[in-house]
Structures are given as C-alpha cells and as structure tokens.
Amino acid sequence: MRKRGARRRRPAHRPAAGIAPALLGALALLLLGLVAGPAVAAEVSPPQPLAPSAVIIDRVTGRVLFGKGIHDERPMASTTKIMTALLVVQRAKYLSRTVTAPAAVVYSSGIGLRPGERITIRQALLGLMLKSAQDCGLTLATAMAGSEPAFVGWMNAKARKLGLRDTHYENCTGSHRDPYHHSSVYDLARLGRYAMRNARFRDIVWRKHATVRWGQDRRLLVRANNLLLHWEWADGIKCGVTGAAGFCLVGSGQPGLRPFITASLGARNRDQDARDHVAMFEWASTLYEEKTVVAAGDLVAAVPLAGGGEVQVAARTTLTAVARSAAPVRRTVTLPQGFSSRPKDGTVVGRVVYRADGVVLGTVRLVVVPQAPPPESPAPEPAEDSPAPVDVALPAPAATL
C-alpha cells in the first residue's frame, strides 16, 4: 500500500530476523530441547496467536523469538500514537509547558478539548496514551511542529532513521482510513523497544488510569489495554482499533526473568488478543534461564613467563546472568602477551567480557593464581652395588686408674 509513483528503499535481503519467522520459534524450541533435555521440551509449545500478524522480541537484545507475518504492511490504528508520544517526549524541554488546542480539535474525539483551551504537555500525553484522545494528538503535533502535516514529516523522518522500512505515516493519530498509513508488527515491536528506553515515555505508558486536568475541567481516564489492566507484570504500551485495522496491540512486560516486547495487528477480539500476547510472553520466558557464567577461582587462561613456564589467571568474582538457554556464551579475554617476571599472587592482570546473543552479560577481572608449591623430593635410595651398612659393636673404653 503505497502512493503511486512513490519510491521505497528496501535492502536486497530481509534482516535475518524476518526470514521464515514461524520457523524461528520452532528452532528456538528445538535448541532448548537439546540443552535442557526432553522433559523441558515436552512442556513448551510455540504460541499460536489468532491475529494475522504477531511477533515477540527480546527487549534486551531485540532478537525475534517468534513471528507470524511480521513484515506484512497493515493499518495500525492508534498504535500510531507510540511515535507521536515518543517525538513529543524527546523534543519537549519541559512537559509542564502549556500548549493551546488548535481549531482542528473541534472535529476530533478525545477528552473534550475545545479550540483555544490550554493544557500542559504532560496532561495531553496522558490523554493521548490512556484515552487515545485524537484532540490531544492534534494539540501536541500542532504545538511541537506548527501543524499536523509538519509533525507527520517528523514521524516519517524518525521512522527512516530507525530503519522502520514497513512503516509510513499520513497522520499523527491513526484514526483516518488512509491506505498509505501502515506499519508491520516487526516495526512496531522495534519502535516499542526503542521508546521504552526513554524514562519520560515509560512514565506515561505504564499507567492504568490517570486524572487529566486542564482549565476548569478534569477527566478520569482508564486505559483500554487489557494486557496492562489484568496482568501485573505488564508495563505498556498501546492498543488501538479501527474497522480497517481490527484490534491492534503493542505490549511490554516481564513475566519472568526477561522483559519482552510484543505486537499484533488485525486481531478480531480485544480480549483474545490480550490472551495471545500473554501466551507469547509466557512461552518466551521458558527460553531463558539464570546461569553461572563463570565462578570465582575458575581458571580462564595462562600467560607465558619469560625464561620458561607460565602464569595461570582466574576469575576474581562470580558472574551470573540471564540468557537464552540455547545461546552460546562467548568470551573476549584481554591479557598481556607475556610476563618478564611473575606477578604477585592475586594481582589483577586483565579482564574477560562474556556475551550471549551479541549482548554483554558482564565483565570479570582476572587475577594471578597462587603458584603451587613444588612437590617434596623423596629420600634417595642406596645404589644397588653399595654394600649394605653393618652394625659394628665397639669395645667399651678402658677404666681410668
């Protein structure tokens, strides 16, 4: 769905995460079975969301864990407002600044803003993300960029900068039925992951309800996001629905050891959509474990010593981390190429960095291991041709007169 004559830049190949996405979940499950054993593999089955497009990614690494139609371009309804809110929190110096509702709000739904009314940016953001208020979106876009079209230009520029190749914006709210306004679950999950790094954004999207005040008016807003309302471990992000888009949801949460981002487009039922997201979260949680990467005292390497011999080095402390059970842990050791003389025992001489899935699990300092004492030499045995010692009785000394 593109404008006639518009040019879209695409790489020659899709990112690895997008190749046969449905197979990625099965492959991860297979690897989990090889690592954790048949008993664990039998308990875990890949999710089967009903939405035509769905995905779950690791919020730490960005790795796609399961996907279904992840690059299908679809209308995304009010999940559009994720980009709107992100640009506002990034560009506004003070969220306490007061902005004015433009004339266009008279034609939009929301919290009831009227043209010329004043509201703070923070209050408008709460209305935008909790109530999905179109009037708050138009007010913020106009205040930040001068007009909605200018703000939409910012949105598309940001999408290009983030590499969201399946995404194009025509408005700042997602409320219009425009065939050129679209995204994909892959892009929405990546955008959600990026946005959740911003503390201002997180402070808005985790809220289940809030009271919005402007002028003499105030409204209690309750979020429509069933994932956020009914599961305590959820911490965002945004849902939406239109006739063309169906039910849409971008979620964030940590039901276990690891945080994840989910996205779905085109679902037929809001409650079922939320349950599908929960199933993806719980399934992905089974792929991770807390493991001891290295224990204090574990030998890591040996460094040559001038004149012969070597100096053994070991981990100074224990490192534990959460990682995929099937992810190989790789290490990068930094040590001198050799020692001219032996350092004192316990001296820090280098470090080792551990990574899994391309993310640093931790860094451990390396210390010199105490040198083992040389073994005691046994008593020499007599030579075979030497005569055996003979006890000789000496005569008693003569008495002195």
What string of pLDDT tens digits covers the 401 residues of the chain? 444 334 344 333 333 344 344 444 444 433 433 333 333 333 578 899 999 999 999 999 999 999 999 999 999 999 999 999 999 999 999 999 999 999 999 888 999 999 999 999 999 999 999 999 999 999 999 999 999 999 999 999 999 999 999 999 999 999 888 889 999 999 999 999 999 999 999 999 999 999 999 988 888 998 889 999 999 999 999 999 999 999 999 999 999 999 999 999 999 999 999 999 999 999 999 999 999 999 999 999 999 999 899 999 999 999 999 999 999 999 999 999 999 999 999 999 999 999 999 999 999 999 999 987 767 766 666 655 555 554 544 455 444 43
- Gap between the Cα atoms of 82 and 236, Å rounded: 11
What residue type is assigned to position 224 of the chain?
A
Topology classification of domain 16-286: Beta-lactamase (3.40.710)
Contacts of 333 (CB under 8 A, 6+ apart): 300, 301, 350, 351, 352, 366
- Gap between the Cα atoms of 333 and 345, Å rounded: 19
Q: Strand 260-267 vs strand 118-120: parallel, antiparallel, or unpaired?
A: unpaired
What residue type is assigned to position 61 of the chain?
T
For residue 365, give the nearest of 300, 290, 288 by alpha carbon.
300
DSSP string, 14-26: --GGGSSHHHHHH
Q: Is the peptide bond before 237 cis (omega within 30 degrees of 0)?
A: yes
Distances (CA, A) of 293 to 213, 319, 362: 51, 6, 9
* Structural contact between residues 79 and 250, judged by C-beta atoms closer than 8 angstroms: yes
Radius of gyration, alpha carbons of the chain: 33
For the domain made up of 290-368, the CATH class stated in words is mainly beta
- Gap between the Cα atoms of 210 and 127, Å rounded: 9
- Gap between the Cα atoms of 63 and 376, Å rounded: 56
Instruction: Name residue, tokens 């830049």.
Output: 9
The DSSP 8-state label assigned to residue 345 in this structure reads: T
- Quick check: helix, strand or coil at residue 9? coil
Q: How many Cβ atoms from other residues are within 10 Å of residue 118's Cβ?
A: 13
* Structural contact between residues 365 and 351, judged by C-beta atoms closer than 8 angstroms: yes
Distances (CA, A) of 165 to 3, 24, 71, 191, 380: 15, 21, 9, 12, 81
- Gap between the Cα atoms of 184 and 39, Å rounded: 36
Length of the chain in residues, anyone?
Answer: 401
For residue 154, give the nearest of 232, 91, 211 by alpha carbon.
91
- Which residue spans of the chain are classified as CATH 3.40.710.10? 16-286
Q: Facing residues of 119 across strands?
A: 99
- Quick check: helix, strand or coil at residue 202? helix
Q: Facing residues of 260 across strands?
A: 58, 253
- Which residue spans of the chain are classified as CATH 2.60.410.10? 290-368
Q: Which two tokens stand for residue 270?
A: 């809001």
Instruction: Name residue, tokens 């487009």.
Output: 265
Please report which helix (H) or strand (E) contains residue 90, including its range: helix 81-91
The DSSP 8-state label assigned to residue 339 in this structure reads: B
For residue 252, give the nearest of 269, 230, 272, 235 by alpha carbon.
235
Backbone φ and ψ for 128, nearest 5 degrees, come out as: -65, -45
* Structural contact between residues 110 and 119, judged by C-beta atoms closer than 8 angstroms: no
SS3 of 232-249: CCEEEEEEEEECCCEEEE
* Structural contact between residues 255 and 281, judged by C-beta atoms closer than 8 angstroms: yes
Please report which helix (H) or strand (E) contains residue 336, including its range: none
Per-residue pLDDT at 379: 63
For residue 317, give the nearest of 369, 362, 364, 363 by alpha carbon.
364
- Gap between the Cα atoms of 47 and 101, Å rounded: 44
Per-residue pLDDT at 297: 96
